[in-house]
Structure formats: structure tokens, C-alpha cells
């Protein structure tokens, strides 16, 4: 649910299927908007890398998930 900028301080994130919001403990920490990663809070370098990876991760097709025995 994209409520960044509506109930939280800062700019809004446009509702587009390619945009992503990353939450940690219910707080938005990073966004991927128009292919650019923007951090909303201060993170360490390793945490920034993990956040970027999580935002860029593509969905695994159902057939491959079954093969890899990964949950959805």
C-alpha cells in the first residue's frame, strides 16, 4: 500500500506498477521510482545495498518457484 507522502512526511510516490516502496517495521525506508532508488532514512552502506537489491528483485515465475521449492 503506497501511503508514502500521504500519511508520512515527504513527497508522494506516483502510483505506477514499476515503482516500489520498501518498508522496515512499518516505516518506509526506500523507494524505487522511475528506475532511481531514493532512501528516505539514513542507512549504512551494507543496508543500502540490501535495500536496493530488495527493490530491484524481480518476481520469480510460479513454475520456477515450484522447481526451487520457494514460497510465493
pLDDT at 70: 64
The residue among 37, 27, 33, 41 whose CA lies nearest residue 12 is 33
pLDDT at 28: 85
The low-confidence residues of the chain, meaning pLDDT below 70, are: 1-17, 59-60, 70-72
Q: How many CA atoms lie within 13 A of 6 on its CB side?
A: 7
Give backbone dihedrals phi and psi of 7, rounded to 5 degrees, phi first: -110, -5
In which residue are the cell numbers 501511503 written?
3
Which DSSP string do the residues of 8-65 spell out, in sequence order?
Answer: SSS------TT-EEEEETTEEEEEEETTEEEESS---HHHHHHHHHHHHPPPPPHHHH
Amino acid at each position: 500500500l503506497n501511503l508514502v507522502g500521504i500519511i508520512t512526511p515527504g513527497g508522494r510516490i506516483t502510483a505506477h506498477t514499476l515503482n516500489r516502496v520498501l518498508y522496515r517495521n512499518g516505516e518506509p525506508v526506500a523507494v524505487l521510482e522511475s528506475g532511481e532508488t531514493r532512501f528516505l532514512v539514513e542507512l549504512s552502506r551494507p543496508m543500502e545495498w540490501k535495500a536496493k537489491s530488495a527493490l530491484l528483485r524481480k518476481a520469480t515465475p510460479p513454475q520456477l518457484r515450484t522447481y526451487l521449492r520457494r514460497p510465493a
